[in-house]
Amino acid sequence: MSDTDEEVMSSTATADSESVAADSESVPADADDTGVVTDDERTMDTTDDTEDADSVAGDVVDTADTDVDADRETPLEVEGLRKTFGGIVAVDEVSFDVEAGTLTGLIGPNGAGKSTTFNLITGMLEPDTGTVRFNGEDITGLQPYEIANRGLARTFQIARELEEMTVLENMMLAPKGQSGEALWRSVLPVTREAVEREETAQLERVWEVLDFFEIDHLAEEYAGNLSGGQRKLLEMARALLTDPDMLLLDEPFAGVNPSLEKRLLEHIHELREEGYTFLIVEHDMDLIMNNCERVIVLHQGRVLKDGTPAAIRESEDVIEAYLGGEV
């Protein structure tokens, strides 16, 4: 942990740290479950719309492949991305756009190149060729934090050292908090007052986001004690703290129980309605088909199909790629 991190934490967390530490031994084994609710949530009716769209699938199949709705903004534009690892072509001339305010799914069988594409977009890997544009700006080859600072956020798994911190501390150390803070400190003569003001604002935002994801009651819980699903909520909450326009999620539902999966999906739909854009990388085809209005199918490093769920469902190529199993 850097000095900056510790400074941020010390002023926000020390007051409680002793009592937290004192409690740590006695955190009940079933603390995991306290956040897992509920069956009362409204059902999402987005799938109904999708089903309706099926009836015009004939038209959609022909046009959806290449056409981007002309009057819809495309914050993310990926063009000709290619990445090789030794002799393996992991991503091969991949091009697609993501339209503003959509849930777009990136699916494909194991080894299709989904995670590599995700890493190329978020700056974890640099492409051999091709470009990534975000909000009209070429962001190819930028560092992950530079990309995050431009409003394109990704989720990070809670690292081991963060497991030993509380949910609240994890939130105070959210990715942009670090880089933004460091940058800010380096260019401004910082007064104690300014730091306090900044931290108060951040703390308010933290509680707002914790409340939104319904994990505010877990604020003092150690991240390491959270269930798989609660972790995913925390990961998304941390990503949201960077004030992104768009979120990239790599397999956000892996290891999540069905009731939390439903809740996560509801949060995603809610955020989409607020104007956020999502690109969700998933191998679970049904989940993507039922929740995304736009689906890009990767196969052997290439875009096999790009269109509405209805168009994807009808594609012989896609059915073949998945060996007919999941479609």
Q: Compute the least distance from the CB of residue 262 to ligand ADP, in Å.
A: 24
Partner from Mg ion, ligand ADP, none binding residue 130, C-beta < 5-8 Å depending on class: none
* Element containing residue 172 per DSSP (H, E): helix 167-172
Residue 114 contacts ligand ADP per CB under 6 A? yes
Residue 252 contacts ligand ADP per CB under 6 A? no
Q: What is the end-to-end Cα distance of the chain in Å, rounded?
A: 46
The position carrying tokens 């999906």 is 265
Residue 130 contacts ligand ADP per CB under 6 A? no
Q: Compute the least distance from the CB of residue 213 to ligand ADP, in Å.
A: 26
Partner from Mg ion, ligand ADP, none binding residue 108, C-beta < 5-8 Å depending on class: ligand ADP
For 295, phi then psi, to 5°, come to -135, 135
- Residue 84 pairs in a beta bridge with 89
| Distance between CA atoms of residues 281 and 248, nearest Å | 8
- A 10 A CB-CB count for 112 gives 23
* Element containing residue 78 per DSSP (H, E): strand 76-85
Q: Compute the least distance from the CB of residue 254 to Mg ion, in Å.
A: 10
For residues 49 to 88, the per-residue mask of contacts with ligand ADP, x marking binding by CB under 6 A and - elsewhere, is: ------------------------------------x--x
Q: Could you tell me the two tokens for 176?
A: 């942009």
Residue 112 contacts ligand ADP per CB under 6 A? yes
Of the candidate residues 4, 11, 115, 178, the single one contacting Mg ion (CB under 5 A): 115
By C-beta, is 81 or 162 nearer to ligand ADP? Answer: 81
- Residue 104 pairs in a beta bridge with 279, 294
**Torsion 78-82-83-88 (CA) sign:** positive
By C-beta, is 87 or 136 nearer to ligand ADP? Answer: 87
Q: Residues in the site for Mg ion, rule: CB under 5 A?
A: 114-115
Q: Residues in the site for ligand ADP, rule: CB under 6 A?
A: 85, 88, 90, 108, 110-116
